[in-house]
Amino acid sequence: MCKLAGQMVSWWIVVAMAMAVFKHDGVDGVFTEPCSSTSSNCTALVSYTAPANSTLAKVADLFGVSDIDSLLGANDFNLSTPATLALSPGDFLKVPVTCNCINGTRQSNSTIYEVVAGDTLSVIAGTTYQDLITYQQIAAANGIVDVNKIQIGESLVIPFPCGCNPLPDQPVVYLAYPVQSGDSIANISADFGAQMADVLSLNGIVNASDLQVGSVLEVPVPACQASFSQSSVDSGLLVAEGGYELTAAKCVQCICTDAPQLRCIPTPTSFSNPCLATLNCANSSLTIGEITTSPSSTGCDVTSCNYEGYLPGNDNAIISQVVNSTENQCPVIPSLTYDIPAPIGKYPLPPAAPTPGPTSSTSGAPAPASAPSPSSASFCIPSLMSFLVPLVLAIYL
Ligand SMILES: *[C@@H]1O[C@H](CO)[C@@H](O)[C@H](O)[C@H]1NC(C)=O
Ligand SMILES: *[C@@H]1O[C@H](CO)[C@@H](O)[C@H](O)[C@H]1NC(C)=O
Ligand SMILES: *[C@@H]1O[C@H](CO)[C@@H](O)[C@H](O)[C@H]1NC(C)=O
Ligand SMILES: *[C@@H]1O[C@H](CO)[C@@H](O)[C@H](O)[C@H]1NC(C)=O
Ligand SMILES: *[C@@H]1O[C@H](CO)[C@@H](O)[C@H](O)[C@H]1NC(C)=O
Ligand SMILES: *[C@@H]1O[C@H](CO)[C@@H](O)[C@H](O)[C@H]1NC(C)=O
Ligand SMILES: *[C@@H]1O[C@H](CO)[C@@H](O)[C@H](O)[C@H]1NC(C)=O
Ligand SMILES: *[C@@H]1O[C@H](CO)[C@@H](O)[C@H](O)[C@H]1NC(C)=O
Ligand SMILES: *[C@@H]1O[C@H](CO)[C@@H](O)[C@H](O)[C@H]1NC(C)=O
């Protein structure tokens, strides 16, 4: 049932790709993705380089990001990072926006800007939003006829270009990126882990040397996509590589370190009610995301407790299941990232381990490796991983 649905989705991806080639709309190289009123929304990313005196909260406010956790997650800042965190000028951030279908093209509409004294549409487009958009696009989206007439206090929708269409070969999250001098298609692609050929074709660039400073490229950032059961609220959860998202009423943190492998573990802050009751797999001592291995005569028995989504309703019932498999060799057990110390006495968790990722601005110094605590399972820990805290979740409740 789920498989069949998956195949239909893939088929639609192919159809959508065939129908929706990104086109430049003639305005300064800005791309557009066609869509129809039945197209669903998605989360896209836009680029932002911190100016002087900026903080995470100011960036969230500027872009209409209502949940600071989604800004933390998109940039792989740990969950204990305060919103007041001062950014250094030049810090690069990926800001999540909601990408919708408006007037037949993809645009974000989650950013509302309130005009202040001294603003002009070109200052707003060029300086405030760093050329992610043109003043003509702001004018069009807000029905502004005379571009020289804007009122202090007026609220403007800032419709960033964005995309939702999956690529045929891999899940992606689109990042709008204004080209800067010194950039090349190769550099931009490498920086975000995108395929150069995809960046060229999506943006309608025939000759890579034709890159225009100031044009906004759509960069398909590789992503991890969940295939949870269809009944789950977050069944198709999509997380861009190098970040995480919180789901299941923030009880679960789904991390995308190496696309397309999504890894879901309990959110550090979830070790309190009401999450606690639902974080173990049924009839198992294993917690979501936990893996145990045990060498056997035929290879290695691997048991994992997998997060499979959550059901709508007040209790946010989490779906999970134990999966057993036999491997030739014991796999490397990924470290669980707990960046907030768990309450003492409940979960004897290791200290934080760094989350590797392209934009890892997070994790501070690698946590000291801690000795594995006694456990019924034997763990296979390669020595090169010893700088990471091995997964040693011995949970005896
Ligand atoms: C996006 O779509 C989802 C599901 O259709 C809906 O719940 C959500 O409100 C939409 N978000 C926005 C900002 O339109
Ligand atoms: C940043 O803050 C400092 C100290 O509060 C102030 O002197 C400076 O003018 C501010 N710079 C900008 C660009 O706002
Ligand atoms: C964004 O656009 C969608 C589709 O037109 C609409 O349903 C939604 O209410 C809009 N959201 C905002 C915040 O304007
Ligand atoms: C939609 O298109 C119409 C006609 O081109 C235009 O008048 C209107 O401002 C557009 N609306 C938005 C939200 O872009
Ligand atoms: C682009 O990549 C080249 C070669 O990898 C490197 O030498 C150069 O510094 C990069 N430029 C930028 C702006 O990242
Ligand atoms: C691409 O553009 C550069 C610079 O304009 C030119 O030298 C080169 O011949 C072009 N390559 C192709 C394949 O057209
Ligand atoms: C858990 O155990 C109970 C009682 O033994 C059983 O009825 C139930 O089906 C089990 N649940 C799962 C998911 O195995
Ligand atoms: C998985 O393996 C464990 C340990 O060998 C066993 O107790 C459990 O019943 C197995 N579960 C399933 C779903 O096969
Ligand atoms: C979380 O990030 C902040 C800011 O980078 C850092 O100071 C702090 O040590 C980190 N906390 C943990 C537990 O890694």
| Pairing relationship of beta strands 42-49 and 92-102 according to DSSP bridges | antiparallel
Residue nearest atom 5 of ligand 6, based on CA coordinates: 209
Q: What is the pLDDT of residue 185?
A: 95
Instruction: Give the atom of ligand 4 at the shortest distance from the alpha carbon of 141.
Output: 14
Estimate to the nearest angstrom the gap between the alpha carbon of 33 and the chain centroid: 20
Query: What are the pLDDT digits (tens) for 12-50?
Result: 433 333 333 344 333 334 577 899 988 889 999 999 999
Q: What is the pLDDT of residue 25?
A: 39
Instruction: Give the atom of ligand 3 at the shortest distance from the alpha carbon of 157.
Output: 14
State mean pLDDT over 256-280. Answer: 81
Instruction: Kindly identify the ligand whose nearest atom is closest to the C-alpha of 98.
Output: 1
Phi/psi of residue 253, each to 5°?
-110, 115
Distance from residue 41's CA to the centre of ligand 1 (Å): 6
144 burial via Cβ count (<10 Å: 0-12, 13-18, 19+): middle
Instruction: Kindly identify the ligand whose nearest atom is closest to the C-alpha of 89.
Output: 2
Distance from residue 143's CA to the centre of ligand 6 (Å): 40
Positive or negative, the Cα torsion across 278, 224, 220, 268?
positive
Instruction: Give the atom of ligand 7 at the shortest distance from the alpha carbon of 281.
Output: 13
Q: What is the pLDDT of residue 352?
A: 36
Instruction: Kindly identify the ligand whose nearest atom is closest to the C-alpha of 191.
Output: 5
Q: What is the pLDDT of residue 20?
A: 35
Rounded CA gap, 46 and 97, in Å?
7
Task: For residue 391, give both structure tokens.
Answer: 């997964």
Q: What is the pLDDT of residue 336?
A: 63
Distance from residue 249's CA to the centre of ligand 3 (Å): 23
Pocket test for ligand 2, best of 49, 53, 88 (most atoms within 8 A of CB): 53
Q: Which residues pair with 46 in a beta bridge?
A: 95, 176
Residue nearest atom 8 of ligand 2, based on CA coordinates: 53
Residue from 377, 239, 246 nearest 305 by CA: 377
Cβ < 6 Å from ligand 4: which residues?
102-103, 140-141, 143
Q: Which residues pair with 31 in a beta bridge?
A: 24
Query: What are the pLDDT digits (tens) for 70-91?
Result: 999 999 999 889 999 999 999 9
pLDDT category, 313, cuts 50, 70, 90? Answer: confident
Q: What is the pLDDT of residue 337?
A: 55
Distance from residue 125's CA to the centre of ligand 2 (Å): 22
Q: What is the pLDDT of residue 335?
A: 67
Task: For residue 366, give both structure tokens.
Answer: 């690698």
| Contacts of 207 by beta carbon, 8 Å cutoff, 6+ apart | none
Is the pTM of the predicted complex or chain greater than 0.95? no
Task: Give the N- to C-terminal CA distance of the chain in Å, as an integer.
Answer: 36
Rounded CA gap, 211 and 200, in Å?
10
- Rounded to whole angstroms, what are the CA distances from 128 to 10, 115, 121, 158, 242? 39, 11, 10, 11, 26
Instruction: Give the atom of ligand 3 at the shortest distance from the alpha carbon of 102.
Output: 5
State mean pLDDT over 99-118. Answer: 95
Query: What are the pLDDT digits (tens) for 236-257?
Result: 999 999 999 999 988 899 999 9
Q: What is the pLDDT of residue 177?
A: 96
With a 6 A CB cut-off, is 148 part of the ligand 2 pocket?
A: no
pLDDT category, 277, cuts 50, 70, 90? Answer: low
Q: Return the half-sphere exposure (C-beta side, CA atoms, 13 A cut-off) of residue 369.
A: 11
Residue nearest atom 9 of ligand 4, based on CA coordinates: 143
